[in-house]
Amino acid sequence: MASYTFRSIEDRRKIQSMWESGLTAKDIADEMGMSLSTAYYELKRGQDGTRLPDQRLRYDAETAQLNVQRSLERRGRRAAKA
C-alpha cells in the first residue's frame, strides 16, 4: 500500500519561501525530499492567482493549507442513493 505524507503548514511556508526566492520545482522537490510530481501538485494547490516579479504564479502556503483542509472535510460526503 502506498504511503502518503501530509505536509504541515511549516513545510508549506518553507516551500513558499523557496519558490519566492527563485528555486525551481525540481530544487524544491530535492530539498523537501518529495517527488517532482508532488512538488508540482503542491505548487498548483497553493496558487493564489497573482504573479511574482519573474512572472511565475505565486504560491501561498495559507491557500494551500486551506485547500487541503477543505478536501479532507469533503471526503466521504456522497449523496445517498435513492
Here the CATH number for the domain that contains residue 13 is 1.10.10
Residue 79 placed within a domain: no
d(CA 15, CA 21): 10
Asked whether residue 44 is assigned to any structural domain, the reply reads yes
pLDDT, tens only, 31-45: 999 999 999 999 999
Pair 70, 63: CB distance under 8 Å? no
**Count: domains in the chain:** 1
Q: Give the global pTM.
A: 0.82
Which range of residues forms the domain containing residue 19? 9-73
Does 81 reside within a domain?
A: no
Whether residue 66 is predicted with pLDDT greater than 60 in this model: the reply is yes
Asked whether residue 31 is assigned to any structural domain, the reply reads: yes
Residue 34 resides in a domain: yes
Residue 30 lies in a domain: yes
